[in-house]
Amino acid sequence: MNLLKNELIKIFKRKNIFILLFIGIIIITCYTLFQKFTSSNMNIIQQYQRAYNNDKILLENYNQISSTDSYEEIIERIELEKYAIENNITYNILLNSENRNAPISVDARILMMRVFNNFDIIIIFIIIYLCSTTISEEYNTGTIKHLLTKPHSRIKILLSKILASIITTILVAIFIVIFQYLLGGILFGFDSYTLDAIIYNGYTQVIERMDLINYMMLISVSKTQMYLLLNIICLFFSVIINNIALNILITLGLYILSTMNFLVNNMSKYLVIYNWDLSKYLFRSDVLVNQSIMISSMSLLIIFVFLIIEFKNKDIKNI
What distance in Å separates the CA atoms of residue 252 and residue 131, rounded to the nearest whole number? Answer: 12
What is the C-alpha R_g of the chain? 22
The helix (H) or strand (E) run that includes residue 163 is helix 154-188
What distance in Å separates the CA atoms of residue 26 and residue 32, rounded to the nearest whole number? Answer: 10
Identify which has the larger pLDDT, 148 or 299: 299
Q: Which residues contact 314 (CB under 8 A, 6 or more apart)?
A: 139, 239
What distance in Å separates the CA atoms of residue 228 and residue 300, rounded to the nearest whole number? Answer: 8
Amino acid present at 183: L
Q: What is the pLDDT of residue 145?
A: 64
Split at pLDDT 50, 70, 90, the class of 42 is confident
**CA neighbor of 93 nearest in space, from 53, 102, 55, 104:** 104
Burial class (CB in 10 A: 0-12, 13-18, 19+), 134: buried
Q: Which residues contact 9 (CB under 8 A, 6 or more apart)?
A: none
The helix (H) or strand (E) run that includes residue 125 is helix 115-134
Helices 115-134 and 2-12: crossing angle in degrees, nearest 10, is 110
Q: Over 80: is that where the pLDDT of 220 sits?
A: yes
Q: Is 283 left (phi over 0), alpha (psi -120 to 50) or beta?
A: left
User: Which of 1-15, 24-38, 232-246 is modeled with the greatest confidence?
Assistant: 24-38
Q: What is the DSSP letter of 208?
A: E
State pLDDT tens for residues 261-311. 777 788 888 899 999 999 988 888 888 899 999 999 999 999 999 999 988
Amino acid present at 168: T
- Contact 89/99 with Cβ under 8 angstroms? no
State pLDDT tens for residues 242-265. 788 899 999 999 999 988 877 778
Q: Over 60: is that where the pLDDT of 319 sits?
A: no
